[in-house]
């Protein structure tokens, strides 16, 4: 079909809203159930209509399966995803379906929508992460409503999501957002005990510190937090805080806020107590973390020395004393620098070059949320690259594996003759992309076994 011009549009956010179906039950008061609606400029009648449709879908589908409500709505031009995070609160997000609009010679338009470009599992994960991130910095919806009232909840929702949603790029989301895992740094037993003892000493020396964790080069070594809390904190640290506070120097070099005798510095702290130590520190955010089954708020104090970072969750009631930061700096600064050097020496010994690898892999452990991948690695061989089509195929394979009970394996070959192997075993998921066009199934199976024996020899998989 001949055309004169083509207009393309990718996937993007269409609407985002939070509602509580216990409000606005009388006719004419339907707007009362809307806690947040973005874009805010949309007229109220349209907001009520879309929220009402969402509520009707959830209620109608719950009659067939009361334990599971409706999660997705597919239309030609959009995809909508729903999530019930707590109680009578519901969240919904709609995104546009990418399309090409071709203007024909006779002036008519032909529009082609690419529904396969938007995948349900990824959208649902993004929506759940949006809730988890809000909860981390503000607490639960019901907790805010109970303590400060409805108007305060609406203000917090608008303040947070009007900024957070602007950071989302729907064209860049992939299977890694589904897993939302934690990258752990593997160390030997003696180093692990040394790190744990170091943090135990800090918590013992400073009673106001309730939780702590330590990272090296954006990889987690140890944490006292529950894994689900650590998962969302890890995302905040590695995608928001660390990139905005990164040093231009490398291991062993000091910034202008560090001293030769103590290279440690604060990345976050209370402004009123940080004078003379580090003027570039960000204000310590208040985080809401589960402690003994109860959501409590803490100050997040982040301290860095060379390539090691310690995160300290400190009581807000009462707040830390005026000399808290000076003591932290003097007590752990040099110790953390020394520990950073020791970790770096061990990491350099066990680093294995992957420049000659003929594959890319992704591993996720549901039990400890650990993720290991070379999917986006720049160090892997240029001989094989994971295209967007391959990434979508991996998501589809994962969905198929989750529909089937027990441990399973699927092997597929795409149109570019690359093999994709997906395996679920013992609550662990593993995917590998191999560039072996003339290989047989037997050859591919042998290559996977070879990979497992070299890169995952300490991980138990059921054959």
> Does residue 77 share a domain with residue 18?
yes
Inside any domain, residue 306:
yes
Pick from 327, 350, 373: which residue ends a domain? Answer: 350
Q: Is the predicted pLDDT of residue 139 greater than 90, yes or no?
A: yes
| Start-end of H helices in 5-140 | 44-62, 120-138
Q: What is the pLDDT of residue 255?
A: 42
Pick the residue with more confidence: 17 or 262?
17
Inside any domain, residue 178:
no
> Does residue 236 share a domain with residue 163?
no
Q: Quick one: pLDDT band at residue 172, thresholds 50, 70, 90?
A: confident
Q: What is the pLDDT of residue 100?
A: 87
pLDDT by residue (tens digit) across 226-272? 999 999 999 999 999 998 877 644 444 434 344 556 788 899 987 66
Pick from 142, 173, 204: which residue ends a domain? Answer: 173
Question: How many whole angstroms separate alpha carbon 301 and alpha carbon 270?
Answer: 8
Stretch 396-411: mean pLDDT, rounded?
Answer: 88
Q: What is the pLDDT of residue 126?
A: 95
pLDDT by residue (tens digit) across 58-107? 888 888 877 777 889 999 999 999 999 999 999 999 999 988 888 777 77
- The CATH number that applies at residue 71 is 3.30.450.70
Strand pairing of 5-9 and 359-365? unpaired
DSSP 210-256: EEEEEEETTEEEEESS-HHHHHHHHHHIIIIIHHHT--SS-TT---T
Do residues 95 and 72 touch, judged by C-beta distance below 8 A? no
Pick the residue with more confidence: 123 or 105?
123
- Which residues, in sequence order, are bridge partners of residue 431? 362, 422
Q: What is the pLDDT of residue 300?
A: 95
> Does residue 366 share a domain with residue 340?
no
Q: What is the pLDDT of residue 249?
A: 41
> Does residue 147 share a domain with residue 236?
no
Stretch 11-29: mean pLDDT, rounded?
Answer: 91
> Does residue 151 share a domain with residue 73?
yes
Question: How many whole angstroms separate alpha carbon 329 and alpha carbon 309?
Answer: 13
* Secondary structure of residue 359 in the 3-state scheme: strand
Cα distances (angstroms) measured from residue 112 to each of 9, 103, 393: 11, 12, 21
Q: Is the predicted pLDDT of residue 353 greater than 50, yes or no?
A: no
Q: What is the pLDDT of residue 276?
A: 55
- CA angle (166, 168, 172) in 5-degree steps: 145
Q: Quick one: pLDDT band at residue 277, thresholds 50, 70, 90?
A: low
* Secondary structure of residue 421 in the 3-state scheme: strand
- The CATH number that applies at residue 367 is 3.30.450.30
DSSP letter at 424 equals E
Question: How many whole angstroms separate alpha carbon 329 and alpha carbon 200?
Answer: 17
Do residues 96 and 78 touch, judged by C-beta distance below 8 A? yes
Q: Is the predicted pLDDT of residue 14 greater than 80, yes or no?
A: yes
Q: Is the predicted pLDDT of residue 324 greater than 90, yes or no?
A: no
Omega before 293 within 30 of 0, i.e. cis: no
Q: Is the predicted pLDDT of residue 202 greater than 60, yes or no?
A: yes
Stretch 12-20: mean pLDDT, rounded?
Answer: 94
| Averaged pLDDT of the chain | 85
Inside any domain, residue 463:
no
Inside any domain, residue 243:
yes
Which of 240-244, 380-384, 437-441, 454-458 comes out lowest in average pLDDT? 380-384
Which H or E run contains 162? Answer: helix 150-164
What's the domain range around 387? Answer: 359-455
Do residues 364 and 401 touch, judged by C-beta distance below 8 A? no
pLDDT above 70 covers a percentage of the chain that reads 87
Inside any domain, residue 461:
no
Inside any domain, residue 22:
yes
Q: What is the pLDDT of residue 257?
A: 43
Q: What is the pLDDT of residue 289?
A: 93
Question: How many whole angstroms separate alpha carbon 39 and alpha carbon 47?
Answer: 9
> Does residue 322 share a domain with residue 201?
yes
> Does residue 270 share a domain with residue 147?
no
Cα distances (angstroms) measured from residue 13 to each of 85, 121, 131, 182, 187: 20, 16, 16, 27, 41
Q: What is the pLDDT of residue 39?
A: 93
Q: What is the pLDDT of residue 278?
A: 57
Inside any domain, residue 138:
yes
Strand pairing of 359-365 and 428-434? antiparallel
- CA angle (331, 329, 219) in 5-degree steps: 95
DSSP letter at 361 equals E
Which of 200-209, 379-388, 432-441 comes out lowest in average pLDDT? 379-388
Q: What is the pLDDT of residue 304?
A: 93
Pick the residue with more confidence: 100 or 281?
100
Question: How many whole angstroms separate alpha carbon 376 and alpha carbon 294?
Answer: 37
Question: How many whole angstroms separate alpha carbon 47 and alpha carbon 32?
Answer: 11
> Does residue 335 share a domain with residue 299?
yes
Q: What is the pLDDT of residue 354?
A: 44
> Does residue 363 share a domain with residue 326?
no
Closest C-alpha among 20, 13, 22 to residue 34: 20
Stretch 310-337: mean pLDDT, rounded?
Answer: 88
Pick from 112, 146, 173: which residue ends a domain? Answer: 173
> Does residue 443 share a domain with residue 389?
yes
Q: What is the pLDDT of residue 235?
A: 95
> Does residue 196 share a domain with residue 331?
yes
Q: Is the predicted pLDDT of residue 25 greater than 60, yes or no?
A: yes
Q: What is the pLDDT of residue 85?
A: 94
Do residues 38 and 161 touch, judged by C-beta distance below 8 A? yes
Closest C-alpha among 319, 322, 337 to residue 265: 337
Do residues 206 and 324 touch, judged by C-beta distance below 8 A? yes
Where are the extended beta strands (E) located within 21-167?
A: 34-38, 72-74, 78-86, 89-96, 99-103, 109-113
Q: What is the pLDDT of residue 355?
A: 43
- Domain count across the chain: 3
> Does residue 372 share a domain with residue 334?
no
Q: Quick one: pLDDT band at residue 388, thresholds 50, 70, 90?
A: confident
Q: Is the predicted pLDDT of residue 3 greater than 60, yes or no?
A: no
Inside any domain, residue 179:
no
């Amino acid at each position: 079909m001949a055309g004169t011009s083509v207009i393309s549009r990718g996937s993007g956010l269409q609407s985002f809203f939070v509602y509580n179906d216990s409000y606005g039950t009388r006719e004419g008061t339907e707007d009362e159930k809307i806690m947040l609606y973005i874009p805010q400029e949309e007229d109220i009648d349209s907001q009520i209509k879309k929220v009402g449709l969402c509520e009707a879908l959830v209620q109608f589908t719950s009659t067939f399966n009361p334990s599971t409500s409706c999660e997705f709505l597919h239309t030609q031009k959009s995809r909508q995803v729903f999530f019930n995070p707590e109680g009578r609160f519901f969240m919904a997000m709609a995104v546009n379906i990418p399309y090409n609009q071709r203007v024909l010679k006779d002036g008519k338009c032909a529009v082609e929508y690419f529904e396969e470009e938007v995948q349900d599992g990824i959208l649902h994960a993004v929506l759940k992460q949006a809730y988890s991130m809000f909860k981390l910095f503000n607490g639960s919806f019901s907790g805010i409503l109970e303590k400060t009232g409805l108007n305060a909840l609406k203000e917090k929702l608008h303040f947070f999501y009007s900024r957070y949603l602007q950071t989302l790029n729907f064209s860049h989301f992939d299977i890694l957002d589904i897993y939302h895992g934690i990258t752990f740094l593997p160390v030997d037993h003696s180093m692990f005990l040394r790190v744990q003892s170091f943090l135990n000493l800090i918590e013992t020396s400073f009673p106001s510190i309730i939780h702590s964790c330590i990272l090296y080069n954006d990889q987690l070594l140890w944490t006292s937090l529950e894994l689900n809390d650590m998962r969302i904190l890890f995302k905040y640290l590695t995608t928001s805080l660390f990139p905005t506070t990164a040093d231009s120097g490398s291991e062993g070099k000091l910034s202008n806020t560090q001293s030769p005798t103590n290279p440690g510095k604060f990345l976050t702290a209370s402004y009123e107590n940080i004078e003379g130590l580090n003027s570039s520190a960000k204000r310590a955010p208040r985080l809401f973390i589960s402690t003994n089954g109860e959501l409590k708020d803490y100050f997040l104090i982040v301290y860095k020395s060379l390539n090691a970072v310690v995160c300290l969750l400190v009581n807000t009631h009462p707040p830390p004393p005026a000399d808290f930061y000076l003591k932290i700096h003097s007590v752990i600064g040099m110790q953390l620098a020394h520990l950073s050097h020791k970790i770096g020496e061990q990491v350099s010994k066990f680093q294995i070059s992957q420049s000659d690898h003929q594959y890319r892999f992704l591993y996720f452990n549901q039990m400890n949320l650990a993720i290991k991948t070379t999917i986006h690695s720049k160090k892997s061989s240029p001989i094989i690259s994971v295209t967007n089509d391959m990434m979508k195929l991996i998501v589809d394979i994962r969905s198929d594996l989750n529909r089937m009970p027990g441990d399973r394996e699927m092997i597929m070959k795409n149109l570019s003759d690359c093999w994709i192997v997906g395996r679920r075993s013992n609550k662990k998921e593993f995917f590998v992309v191999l560039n072996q066009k003339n290989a047989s199934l037997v050859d591919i199976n042998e290559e996977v076994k070879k990979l497992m024996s070299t890169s995952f020899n300490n991980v138990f998989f059921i054959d």
